Amino acid sequence: MSATNGYPFLSKRALVDRIRADREYALDAFRILLARTAQRTADTQGACGFMASHGATARELAATLAERPFNDAEHAKLAALLCRYAKQLATHFRTIELQARPELLQIASVFSAIPGISTGSSEAEDDDGERDVAVATEAPTIVEAPTPRRRGRPKGSRNRPKAEPKGRGRRK
């Protein structure tokens, strides 16, 4: 699972390869996405689960799976569908791994896998000698930058030579 650069989680590429090779893993990933889709429709919470454009295909595959196991063509269709959700599945599995092994929080913050982790001096040591990593809850500060100057002609001007004054009224 870990890459040569020390990333301890399942990468998107490794996830896609495993979905294509392992049928049981693909079915587990499919069930996870179905559950996340049901959660999203119930809670109207964030973007998770299948997109609306893939919803009909996912429901069709779920109905087929309820009746019988997939054949090779249906599994290929499932794998192609699941490969589009590699980022969402990788995030899901990374979250599960972080909950199971909290010592990975420090490594995850190095790879920006967890954007809300504060790795500075906000770590507190318990009586047991364990360190607790604080999660940042404040919104990031937004820096107001001056708007860039508009280049080119001013809005509403026309292409006129400089010597010709603006005419008012009718032309003669």
Each residue of 85-120: pLDDT tens digit?
A: 898 898 888 888 888 888 887 777 777 666 444 444
Question: Cβ–Cβ contacts within 10 Å for residue 107, how many?
Answer: 17
Domain ranges across the chain: 12-125
Under 8 Å between Cβ of 63 and 55? no
The pair of structure tokens assigned to 44 is: 């109207």
Mean pLDDT to the nearest integer, 15-22: 92
Q: pTM above the 0.85 mark? A: no
**Of 65, 79, 72, the residue nearest 26 (C-alpha):** 79
Q: In this structure, what is the dihedral angle of CA atoms 39, 41, 45, 48, given to the nearest 10 degrees? A: 70
| pLDDT for the residue numbered 122 | 40
Each residue of 38-80: pLDDT tens digit?
A: 887 777 666 678 887 888 888 899 999 999 988 989 999 999 9
